[in-house]
Amino acid sequence: MELAVRCQNLQKRYGDVVAVDGLSFEVRRGECYGLLGPNGAGKTTTIEILEGLLAPDGGDVEVLGHRWKTDEQQLRQRLGVQLQETQFTDKLTVEETLRLFRSFYDRGKTVDELLGLVELESKRRSWVVKLSGGQKQRLSIACALAGDPDLLFLDEPTTGLDPQSRRQLWNVLARFREAGGTVLLTTHYMDEAETLCDRVAIVDQGHVIAEDTPKNLISALAKPKVVVHEGTLEDVFMSLTGRHLREQ
Amino acid sequence: MTSETRSGTYPPIIELTLARLREFVREPEALFWTFLFPIIMSVAMAFAFPSSSAQTVRVGITPGAGSDAIRQALSAAKDVVLKELPADDQLRALRNGEVHLIVEPGNPPTYRFDPMRAESRLARLVVDDVLKGVAGRQEPWRAKEDLIEIPGSRYVDWLIPGIISLSIMNNGLWSIGFMTVQARLRKLLKRLAASPMRRRDYLMAPVLARLVFLGPEVAAPLLFGVIVFGMPVRGGFISIGMVAILGALMCGALGLLMGSRARTFEAASGLMNLMSVPMWVLSGVFFAASNFPDAVQPLIQVLPLTALVDAMRAVILEGASFTAIRNELAIMAGWTILPFAVALKIFKWR
């Protein structure tokens, strides 16, 4: 099977702190793969290495069959990236921001198509500073989709959003996947991983401690406390680590 | 995922420049400082240093016996302003520049003044001449005076091109430096670095955007000088424009360099002050750089602002040709290319 991402024995440390410690996983073309874990587990560091924003201290990374060292420009044309905490320019409009990002790509959708895709047509002429959190996040996704990417990286795409905004964002991702796109996302929301992901890797202290479909992980590991309760990924994480996922 | 639609956008460098321009015009304070600062500065300086050729001499007189005669003699003289000053107030008045010289009546009278002050030395000459004339000095002859007015040689004429250069430097440094730090703080730089945008496009855009407003920015103080002070402009539109453009490119590149690694506004403003404040003093904006010792002249001459100020004065006041200012142009080109290349190299995108 063709792979979208292959990463093997990834290592990254910041001074004395080991952020990523021998992390390996593979993402197949067309699937939605989730990196699941508490804050500080190394998810963001991992995804930034895969995005070519950070150089790993060790290990091997291949994205869409290319390596960052040799094919950076080519790779950037084919990837969509949404980062945590990006704040777009306050006093540009939604449309102007999208035009700017669209101009960087050789191919891709028109600005109008992108606005439609993320349902921001009515906000086309609004300044970024006037958008709600959910609208800002959909703008961020639209910028990531500007080049019609083969692979989309999302780092905690729905953190801090209200339930309705989350659902809207999930719909955008569903449309992207219907068109054949591959998604790699990080999250610490269990329900998000269960809804969106074909497979998840549970990451703790810089390495993968379990990997499978959400369904298999739940049936193999979760110990439901109540019989009628089917068990969730939250239970899986607890039984693997003895800790709550949202524990800080 | 193969929709090969045409983008419907301009090339990245144009879109990036447009984004900078939009950001700029939507920030009213930025507009205010860009266009009004040089004019306010020129007005203030023009008031502080009046353009009329006749300089008034302010003289204090110690009250007492003989002071009336001295007052009578001096009040007949042109451009002398008199003030009676008790002895215990004289030092303060001299220090503040309220008077330039104090006359203590007597035979002969005493002149009290600070010889380090040019106005005081001038006052001594004027007062001495008047008093000796009244005392009955025999003039061996009276020279004929051939007064010529050289337009463009007044302080204000000399000052305005300096202020224009200064505002080009300030606007380049601060607007570009701060916008860069802001984009870094907001993690926008990191997001852009994750896109296929060419990094030199991003760094060139704010410098190009500066050029769009350069016309009014230079024209406003220049027109102000022409209309209010009758300042002569001898250089052509093209040569003044070329010097201004090269100056703006240079200062934009310096602003990029100052903002290339700073993570906070404080760090960036520290760097920009460190670079610009010495040049306010050294580069001859407010008083001639030739006042500084010969030993430091080679250093002063290669400063970016010195080259800009000298070139600007030469084209505006003398109508100098490009050949005449080729050294300044070369220095400015160097200060454009080198900082830009270094900024591109060391720029922090995260």
Query: Which CATH number is A3-241 given?
Result: 3.40.50.300
A99/B9 touch (CB, cutoff 8 Å), yes or no: yes
Q: Can you tell me the mean pLDDT for A49-71?
A: 95
Over 60: is that where the pLDDT of B111 sits? Answer: yes
Higher pLDDT, A225 or A112: A112
Give residue B148's pLDDT: 67
Q: Do A40 and A193 form a contact (C-beta atoms < 8 A)?
A: no
Sheet of B57-61: strands edge to edge?
Answer: B80-84, B57-61, B101-104, B110-112
A4-18, B220-234, B319-333: least confidently modelled range? B220-234
Could you tell me the pLDDT band of residue B3, with boundaries at 50, 70 and 90?
Answer: very low
Contact B4 A107 (CB under 8 A): yes
User: Which residues in A203-238 are b (16+ Cβ under 10 Å) and which e?
Assistant: bbebbbebbbebeebbeebbeeeeeeeebbbbbbbb
Give the position of tokens 């950001």.
B23
- Neighbour tally for B11: CB within 10 Å: 12
Place of tokens 């024995």: A9
Instruction: Mutation target for A interface from B18, B29, B178, B195: give the one with most A CBs within 10 A.
Output: B195
Q: Quick one: CA torsion of B73, B76, B79, B82, rounded to 10 degrees?
A: 50
* The pLDDT value given to residue B145: 84
Q: What is the average per-residue pLDDT within B160-182? A: 92
For the ranges A44-53, A188-197, B11-20, B195-204, the lowest mean pLDDT is seen at: A188-197
> What does the pLDDT average to over A166-170?
92
Residues of chain A neighbouring B4 (CB-CB closer than 8 A) = 107
Answer whether residue A113 shows pLDDT above 50.
yes
pLDDT for A235: 79
Distance from C-alpha of B12 to C-alpha of A106, rounded to nearest angstrom: 11
Q: What is the per-residue pLDDT for A188? A: 84
Cβ(A78)–Cβ(A149) under 8 Å? yes
Minimal-distance CA residue of chain B relative to A88 = B188
Least confident of A69-73, B27-31, B90-94, B208-212: B27-31
Structure tokens at B47: 């008031």
Residue A1 has a pLDDT of 60
Give B173 to chain A, closest Cα distance, Å.
Answer: 20
Lowest mean pLDDT among B24-33, B50-59, B188-197: B50-59
Query: For residue B57, what is the enclosing H or E element?
Result: strand B57-61
Measured between CB atoms, does B89 come within 8 Å of chain A?
no
Q: What is the mean pLDDT of residues A101-112?
A: 95
Report the range of poorest mean pLDDT among A40-49, B37-46, B166-175: B37-46
- The per-residue pLDDT for A221 is 72
pLDDT of residue A27: 97
**Secondary element (H or E) of residue B71:** helix B67-75
Interface contacts (A, B; CB < 8 Å): 98
pTM score, whole prediction: 0.82
- Who among A104, A143, A181 is closest to B196 (CB)? A104
% chain A with pLDDT above 90: 77
B263 near A CB under 8 A:
no
pLDDT for A71 equals 94
What are A88's two structure tokens? 């777009």
- Interchain pair B27, A91: CB under 8 A: yes
Which residues of chain A make contact with B14, given a CB cutoff of 8 A? 103
Contact partners, residue B29, CB within 8 Å, separation at least 6: none
Give dist(CA A5, CA A75) in Å, integer: 12
Q: Do the Cβ atoms of A147 and B196 come within 8 Å?
A: yes
Strands B101-104 and B57-61: parallel
Calpha distance A231→A214 (Å, rounded): 11
pLDDT at position B1, please?
40
For the cut 80, the answer to whether the pLDDT of residue A181 exceeds it is yes
B205 chain-A contacts, CB cut-off 8 A: none
List, in order of start, the domains of chain B with CATH numbers. 12-48+154-346 (no CATH), 57-134 (3.40.190.10)
Q: How far apart are CA B37 and CA B29, in angstroms?
A: 11
At B61-71, the pLDDT tens digits run 999 888 888 88
Contacts of B209 in chain A (CB under 8 A): none
**Cα maximum dimension of chain A:** 55
Q: Is the pLDDT at B135 greater than 70, yes or no?
A: yes
The pLDDT of residue A64 is above 90: yes
ipTM of the prediction: 0.92
Q: Give percent above pLDDT 70 in chain A.
A: 93
Neighboring chain A residues of B21 at a CB cutoff of 8 Å: none
**CB atoms B23 and A89 under 8 Å:** yes
* Residue A223 pLDDT class (50, 70, 90 cuts): low
Q: What percent of chain B has pLDDT over 90?
A: 53
pLDDT class for B252, splitting at 50, 70, 90? very high
Q: Collect all residues of chain B within an 8 Å Cβ-Cβ radius of residue A149.
A: 1
Is residue B243 over pLDDT 50?
Answer: yes
Task: Check residue A248 and give its pLDDT.
Answer: 43
Judge whether residue B276 has pLDDT over 50: yes
pLDDT of A239 higher than 80: no
Contacts of A76 in chain B (CB under 8 A): 194-196
Q: How far is A224 from chain B (nearest CA, A)?
A: 41
pLDDT classification of B5: cutoffs 50, 70, 90: very low
pLDDT at B2: 37
Task: Enumerate the β-bridge partners of residue B58.
Answer: B81
What rounded mean pLDDT belongs to chain B? 88
Average pLDDT score over residue span A123-143 = 96
- The pLDDT, as a whole number, for residue A229 is 56
CB of B28 within 8 Å of a chain A CB? The answer is no
Q: Where are the domains of chain A?
A: 3-241
* Alpha carbon A24 to its chain's center: 17
B195 in contact with A, Cβ within 8 Å: yes
Band of the pLDDT at A87, cuts 50, 70, 90?
very high
